[in-house]
Amino acid sequence: MIGLIGGSGLSQLEGLILEQKMQRETPFGEPSAPLMIGRYADKTVAFLPRHGEHHTIPPHLINYRANIWAFHQLGVEQILAVASVGGITEPYMPGTIALPDQLIDYSWGRESSFASEDFSADKHIDFTYPFDETLRQQIQLAANSEEMTVIDGGTYAVTQGPRLETAAEIQKLKNDGADMVGMTAMPEAALARELNIAYASIAVVANQAAGLSSHPLTIEAILDTMDDSMGQVRRLLKGVIPLL
């Protein structure tokens, strides 16, 4: 089964032929919302909006462990995670879709392992390459087939949220080598790795990060860009899912 995680702008999966809607109980509590299981692009998928059905859960309070474990319970082997980000370096402009291949985690205080309560030395995971390369390339192949422009690669900086960053913080992230900034790739990616679930992010650049644009940064503009980009995201999903 294929797992889809919807971020800002994708709380509902248009085109999903719903067969079952279930709230899963996990050893780590309840997921953000009931999982919606059905047919999408002729495949069985499980869809979960990470911020809840009505976008009421901020990034730092998402129960990431319950979300990923619920997919694991269903037998999900691949997760496509859609996320909105701010663009830092020049190619990552509003409306761009990118497939990050690296990340830097600046978040704090989030439960980031299933082994926190029962740790042993063998629970360490190799996280050199945090996004599954095979899955990334399948998404890129779908983008090429659909004649879509998608940036292959980039470093995703994960901040705590829910506030947006300061201009000085963005300059620091840029100096650190980040191309984009978001709030949800961690600990999602690490938790998926612990369970051997292939995980890739489809990052939608909703705005230029703080201090990089001459225009005021407004939530209204961010949401408008996300709305305009979701059609492209759905097109990309419908292209890649048959390949999985």
Q: Are strands 35-40 and 155-158 parallel, antiparallel or unpaired?
A: unpaired
The reported pLDDT for the residue numbered 93 is: 94
> Does the annotation list 183 as a binding residue?
yes
Pairing relation of β-strands 17-22 and 35-40? antiparallel
pLDDT reported for residue 103: 98
225 is in an annotated binding site: no
Q: What does the pLDDT read at residue 116? A: 81
The pLDDT of residue 178 is 98
User: According to the annotation, is 102 in a ligand binding site?
Assistant: no
pLDDT at 218: 79
DSSP designation for 26: B
The whole-number mean pLDDT for each consecutive block of 10 residues of the chain, a chain of 244 residues, reads 87 84 93 95 94 93 97 97 95 95 97 86 90 97 94 98 95 98 98 98 94 82 81 92 93
Domains, the chain, ordered by start: 2-112+125-243 (3.40.50.1580)
51 is in an annotated binding site: yes
- Positive or negative, the Cα torsion across 51, 233, 45, 86? negative
**Burial of 223 by CB count in 10 Å (0-12 exposed, 13-18 middle, 19+ buried)?**
middle
User: Is 163 assigned a ligand-binding role in the annotation?
Assistant: no
Residue 78 marked ligand-binding: no
Determine whether the annotation assigns residue 207 to a binding site: yes
Is the pTM higher than 0.75? The answer reads yes
Return the pLDDT at 123. Answer: 78
Spatial separation of the C-alpha atoms in residues 49 and 81, rounded to whole Å: 10
67 annotated binding-site participant: no
